Amino acid sequence: MSETAPNGTKYEERLRRAGVRITRPRQVILRILAQTEDHPDAMEIFNRASEIDPSISLSTVYRTMKLLEELGAIHRHAFEGGRARFEQAGSEHHDHLIDIDTGDVIEFHSTKIEALQDEIARSLGYDIVHHRLELYGRKRRRR
Domains annotated for the chain, with CATH where assigned, are: 11-88 (1.10.10.10), 95-137 (3.30.1490.190)
CA–CA gap between residue 81 and residue 87 (Å, rounded): 18
CA–CA gap between residue 87 and residue 90 (Å, rounded): 10
* Residue 55: per-residue pLDDT: 92
DSSP codes of every residue in 10-30: BHHHHHHHTT----HHHHHHH
* Residue 88: per-residue pLDDT: 76
pLDDT mean over 25-52: 90
* Residue 74: per-residue pLDDT: 81
Angle at 74 between CA 31 and CA 1, to 5 degrees: 25
Report the predicted TM-score, pTM, of the whole model to 2 decimal places: 0.66
Closest of 127, 40, 50, 43 to residue 87, by C-alpha: 40
pLDDT mean over 47-62: 94
Instruction: Tell me which amino acid residue 34 is.
Output: A
3-33 pLDDT, tens digit each: 444 433 478 888 888 888 888 999 999 989 8
* Residue 81: per-residue pLDDT: 67
DSSP codes of every residue in 40-102: -BHHHHHHHHHHH-TT--HHHHHHHHHHHHHTTSEEEE--TTS--EEEETTSPP-EEEEETTT
CA–CA gap between residue 119 and residue 116 (Å, rounded): 5
80-137 pLDDT, tens digit each: 767 777 777 766 778 889 898 888 888 888 999 999 999 999 999 999 988 888 899 9
CA–CA gap between residue 12 and residue 1 (Å, rounded): 8
* Residue 9: per-residue pLDDT: 43
* Residue 8: per-residue pLDDT: 34
Cβ-contact 110, 95 below 8 angstroms = yes
Terminal C-alpha separation, the chain:
52
Instruction: Tell me which amino acid residue 29 is.
Output: I
